[in-house]
A and B are shown apart, each in its own frame.
Chain A
Amino acid sequence: MNPYKNRGDKPTKTGFAEGLLEAGLRNPQVVCLGADITTSVGCNLFAETLPHRFISLGIAEQNCVGVAAGLALEGKTPVFSTYGVFAALRTTDQIRISVCYNNLHVVIGGAHAGVSVGPDGATHQALEDIAVMRVLPGMTVLSPCDAMQTRVATLAAIEQCNGPVYIRFGREAMPDFTSDIMDFTIGKSQILRAGNDLTIIATGHMVWEALQAAEILETSGIGARVINMHTIKPIDRDAIILAAGETGAIVTAEEHQIIGGLGSAVAEVVVQHHPVPMAFAGMQDHFGESGEPRQLMEKYGMTARAIVEAGLTVIKFKMQIAKCN
């Protein structure tokens, strides 16, 4: 049985907004930069409560990142949030040079992550942001799984990091199930469910799907371990190596391109330290399209059912290998 209860659907964006406000109230050096879409990217609470520390810069994302770098050089802790497609992709060069090469503590929020943005369609569905952000030297990449964890992760990004951080979150209301007493440490994944036949490593919205998938697999007598990989970089190598060793098969699940995202990050560890069969649930090198969030997640294979299918595939490989030995 799924031991986690959904307290009610809530957008992860809301968790970001709450964490940002909390950090702002605690530390007068925290400032927030806005690129026009303040409410839809989770900066509204901060802007309303602490207007003297909210810097509106208009629809000019590249400038936002540079200004954030300048503020960070002067001892501020700037938080800049916009849609992930712009936050990570339009401004990549500014993030690379002005922020990362200068090793500045700038927190970048990537909103509207994944196809679950829905009707806006491909232009606004961030599906490449993890890949691009995680390749930058010194960047920390966070992808929390629900609203509660996004609040906690936002606080950690602002208060515990010294360098650049990218944190992604979604717009659609999704199950809110983690507890705030659960230990959250950047770079340390969470085992949400025990199992020894295979491991599902999931991130963001796909963590809830992974828990559902584990239940379905259990009805066939397959014990699936579920790991919430809320930090994509630095990736939790120990947990991955342990899972590969103990379960012998890994499925990754992400609302992101399978090229360069969580699946790639996990595979980089697996192939170097403990090769086992792997399968990747996520966007298979496509753009998204308009539709309802659930319809899109189903069409593009980002659901519990897709994870179950991937799980059955890796189990088959695992058994073939066992036979050969």
Chain B
Amino acid sequence: MLAGAGSGHLGGSLGLADIFTTLYFSVLNHDPVQPSWSGRDRVVLSIGHVAPVLYATLAHAGYFPLNELKTLRKLGSRLQGHPGRDHGLPGIELSAGSLGQGLSVAVGMAIAAKMDRKNHRIYSIHGDGELQEGSVWEAAMSASHYKLDNFVAIVDRNGLQIDGKTEDVMKLEPLAEKWRSFGWQVLNCDGNDIDQLLDVFAKAQISQNAPSVIIAKTLMGKGIRSIEGDYHWHGKVPTTEQALEFLEQLR
């Protein structure tokens, strides 16, 4: 996909594959045939730059044909570099790409669900570097203020961002304590272990009076030994030869 597009973010997408698979194939209440069914659980992808993993998951779940994945980032494609609703791709809840905004939007969706006494859940997906944006913490404060127990935020804790390790660029730890002090239920897990993910999603669903955050430790570039944990691959694209070699490893 990315080799064909010539640009994009490989490492982050690979690290999130297990989380997306767990969400779309086990956790979510959704219907790919009726993408705007009002009872569906909502997924807000705050980190628009990992759009490839969202697109690949949606296609495999049946939202649109797999061969459309080849159009990623091409002129006229429904698969924009960062998700864009107005391009008409089914399953996209929010056009996003400017970091730090998705948590607020998800809070608004969760408040609306509470007001209308609806039972669906809101899931939002964030990067760890993204948590350096101040608006994230404005949103975090409001989610616990309104006791949004229908809301689950997932943080992709790969420890990396474009300039290097998050702890070198701008320290995030102690991260769990930060969320806890903002009034959230914190659930830690290995984000590349599906059993652990299923377990924390189940715990999040029975939270009462507080939103939940899943801090999922992931390995950037998961599944491709030569790039695992290497921040240089955050926004890098493989050559065609590399792509073939990487795909071989993933199998």
Please report A residues at the B interface, Cβ cutoff 8 Å: 31, 53, 55, 57-58, 60, 62-63, 65-76, 78, 93-94, 96-98, 101-103
Contacts and interface: CB of A to CB of B under 8 A. Distances in A.
Which of B44, B101, B106 counts the most A-chain CB atoms under 10 A from its CB? B101
Interface in B87-105: 93-98, 100-105
Given A97-B96, A102-B85, A103-B86, A66 B108 contact: yes
B113 interface: yes
B112 A57 contact: no
A65 B104 contact: yes
A102 B108 CA distance: 14
B210 interface: no
B112 A69 contact: no
Contact of A66 (B86, B93, B107): B107
Nearest to A59: B138
B189 interface: no
A93 B134 CA distance: 13
B142 interface: yes
B111 A94 contact: no
A67 B105 contact: yes
A97 B94 CA distance: 10
Q: Is the interface of A mostly helix, strand, loop or mixed?
A: helix
A86 to B, nearest CB: 13
B110 interface: yes
Contacts, number: 104
Given A63-B142, A74-B109, A98-B101, 15 more contacts: A58-B141, A60-B142, A62-B138, A63-B135, A63-B139, A66-B139, A67-B107, A67-B108, A68-B108, A70-B106, A73-B109, A75-B112, A94-B98, A97-B97, A98-B105
Given A58-B142, A66-B107, A102-B95, A74 B101 contact: no
Contacts of A55: 111, 146
Contacts of B98: 93-94, 96-97
Nearest to A52: B115
Contacts of B97: 97
Contact of B108 (A62, A71, A93, A96): A71
Interface residues of B, number: 33
B223 interface: no
Contacts of B142: 57-58, 60, 63, 67
Q: Is the interface of B mostly helix, strand, loop or mixed?
A: helix
Interface of B: 44, 84-86, 93-98, 100-113, 115-116, 134-135, 138-139, 141-142, 146
Nearest to A97: B98
Nearest to B96: A97
Nearest to A106: B108
A98 B112 contact: no
A73 B112 CA distance: 9
A70 B110 contact: yes
B111 A67 contact: yes
Leading 7 A-B pairs by shortest Cβ distance: A70-B108, A66-B104, A74-B112, A63-B138, A60-B138, A67-B108, A70-B109
Contacts of B112: 70-71, 73-76
14 contacts: A58-B141, A62-B138, A66-B108, A67-B107, A67-B108, A70-B44, A70-B107, A70-B108, A70-B110, A71-B108, A71-B109, A96-B98, A101-B86, A103-B86
A94 B104 contact: yes
Contact of A69 (B84, B86, B108, B110): B108
Contacts of B103: 66
Contacts of A70: 44, 104-112
Contacts of A65: 104
